[in-house]
Amino acid sequence: MSLKYRAAPKDDLIWHDLDSMTLLFHRPSGITHMLADPAPAIMEVMQDSSLTASEIALLLIAQFEIESAADAENIVLARLEELSGLGLVARVSG
């Protein structure tokens, strides 16, 4: 079964857009993260659901009306692993 991911709870996060990047303050750790596209969009489409990289790629393609890219899932997976390392998304078993 594909690995699923879940974003950190909304109440733990404070978002702030700058010109070219997005700031994300993570309340539990007190760490400020600076995210470049597409990481903020990935977290936005995840909302409160547990999703696989492939499901997230489909949501991104639909929401941002981008053409389906063959490697979209791999890009999303790489970003999810980075966000997971930062504690901003969690791997969900099952």
Which residues make up the interface to another protein (CB under 8 A)? 14, 16, 18-21, 23, 25, 27, 30, 32, 34
Distance of CA 2 to the CA centre of its chain: 17
| Closest distance of CB 23 from another protein, Å | 7
Rounded Cα distance, 28 and 7, in Å = 14
Nearer to another protein, 38 or 55 (CB): 38
Nearer to another protein, 15 or 64 (CB): 15
Identify whether the C-beta of residue 5 lies closer than 8 Å to the C-beta of residue 80: yes
Nearer to another protein, 30 or 85 (CB): 30
| Closest distance of CB 93 from another protein, Å | 31
Rounded Cα distance, 12 and 26, in Å = 6
| Closest distance of CB 24 from another protein, Å | 10
Rounded Cα distance, 76 and 48, in Å = 17
Residues paired with residue 89 on neighbouring β-strands, in sequence order? 7
